[in-house]
Amino acid sequence: MNKNKTLNLISLGCAKNLVDSEILLGGLKKNNVSITQNPEDADTIVVNTCGFLDIAREESIDTILQAAELKKSGSLKELVIMGCLTERYPEELKKEIPEVDQIFGSNDHRQIVSFLTGKDFAKDDPLFFRSLMTPNHYAYLKIAEGCDNGCSFCSIPLMRGLQKSRTIPAIMDEAERLVAKGTKELLVIAQDSTSYGWDLEKKVYLSDLLRELNTINNLEWIRVHYAHPAHLSQRIIDAMAECNKVCNYIDMPIQHAADNVLKSMKRGLGQDGIRNRIHRLREAIPGIAIRTTLIVGYPGETEDDYNSLRDFVEEIKFDRLGIFTYSEEEGTSAAYLDDNISRQVKDDRKNSLQEIQLEINLDRNESFIGKTLKVLVDQSGKDNSVGRTEYDSPEIDNIVHIKEKVEKGSFVNVKIESVNEYELIGKVVKSIN
């Protein structure tokens, strides 16, 4: 690749994919590759695909086809694809979309950079530092790849393989580099963050990592994502409670609350076990915001199962809730079950839960009216700004509208004056830094 080559990188899917894209981008930027945000200005496009759900697969295919059209028109010379979808269906993609020049897997960063630049690079090369695609003040910190859990509905192990944890020194080295460059919030991610370190030769735990991360100077917030409830040990809860930089927040997908559905899903805990974890979290960390995700319409989900789930949502009152309708994933054990639930019933169940959650959201947010909260500013406009509290993760949770321009990446105290289901609205009362 010559110095005048211009590349557009399109990253689809989850935060874990985003980190892969950032690592690749860092390697390319160090090699005189010009990066453009506009696909039409590029002579090379790299698409980092997602293959987890049918809607994500469709988006990935559509994105590749759009890039292929640019290649047909003559403006695009090279089309490269990578990621989860290519891990699962490399031969099919090669056959169906001949415009693709090269297909790589999720973790083939070295091979991709070598292909694009004609040079040899290793992932641990000092030039291979990430180039953030998020705002500079927050970054995702991937602590492990793959997953050992084998949930019946999930194809991640088929695409990403079994769990491979990074060592604490390697993670700390990356975290310290990020903070030195201005990152104030680290979002800890893995397919299952709570089983982090179990596979290492010298076993360590998420609690050990959190305590180490908590020692980093100039780091303000540490946020824990994708905690499997069956693996949420008391030692992890205690570490979260004791580490002052760890946000009063956890993203803990429970997926369902009916015992027989949870058993079929191979989730390792029944409803009482999940309730116990939530009770222990709230007891150790008063005021913690718990985010979860649910699947409705799983094969065999009866009306009683759904009612059990609905009652659990009303009882627990999750602070943040994402709801998905079941999507059959080829190669998973659930794909062999009789998916006897109609699309209409799935959508009705999802909509019903969303209505319940809207009321919970509004009640929660109204409790903040008149209070002053610490807010991290994500966007800064001419006359207003947008930020988040420690109870909210970027892109997926609530936002705070601030009635004045505040510097992006700064922390401010905001007095909340009004709210709706997803937003807090207020004004700055005292700047923090």
Token code pair at residue 128? 């291979």
Residue whose pair of structure tokens reads 């908590």 in the numeric block: 214
161 and 255 both lie in a single domain: yes
| Structural domain harbouring 19 | 6-117
- pTM (2 d.p.): 0.85
At 99, the amino acid letter reads E
Q: Is residue 319 part of a domain?
A: yes
Estimate the crossing angle of helix 303-316 against helix 343-366, to 10 degrees.
10
Whether residue 93 is found in the same domain as residue 205 = no
Angle at the Cα of 392 from the Cα atoms of 388 and 395, rounded to 5 degrees: 80
| 179, 313: one domain | yes
132 assigned to some structural domain: no
DSSP state of 333: G
Please indicate, yes or no, whether residues 269 and 284 belong to a single structural domain of this protein.
yes
Looking at the fold, whether 361 and 405 belong to one and the same domain comes out as no
User: Does residue 361 share a domain with residue 388?
Assistant: no
Residue ending a domain, among 366, 401, 420, is 366
255 and 207 Cβ atoms separated by less than 8 Å: no
Beta bridge partners of 426: 402, 416
CATH of the domain at 413: 2.40.50.140
Q: Which residue(s) pair with 293 in the sheet?
A: 322
Same domain, 279 and 379: no
Q: Number of folded domains in the chain? A: 3
pLDDT in tens, 262-301: 999 999 999 999 999 999 999 999 999 999 999 999 999 9
Let me know whether 349 and 381 are in one domain.
no
- 253, 225 Cβ separation under 8 angstroms: no
165-188 residue pLDDT tens? 999 999 999 999 999 999 999 999
Torsion, Cα of 392, 395, 398, 404 (10° steps)? 100
pLDDT of 195 reads 96
pLDDT attached to residue 2: 46
Cβ(168)–Cβ(122) below 8 Å: no
Inside any domain, residue 133: no
CB 411 within 8 A of CB 388: no
CA 290 to chain centre: 15
Q: Would you state the pLDDT for residue 289?
A: 97
- Rounding to the nearest 10 degrees, give the CA dihedral for residues 188, 397, 50, 63: -140
Last residue of a domain, one of 336, 366, 396: 366
pLDDT tens, 22-75?
888 887 877 778 888 888 888 899 999 987 777 888 888 999 998 888 888 877
* Same-domain check for residues 336 and 410: no
Contact 196, 213 (CB under 8 A): no
Residues 263 and 223 in one domain: yes
* Residues of the chain where predicted confidence (pLDDT) is lower than 70: 1-4, 121-129, 431-433
Q: Where are the alpha helices (DSSP H) in 125-270?
A: 156-160, 168-180, 206-213, 234-242, 259-265
Which CATH number belongs to the domain containing residue 238 in this structure?
Answer: 3.80.30.20
Q: Do residues 154 and 218 share a domain?
A: yes
Same domain, 148 and 43: no
Tell me if 129 is assigned to some domain: no
Cα–Cα distance measured from residue 147 to residue 155, given in angstroms and rounded to the nearest whole number: 10
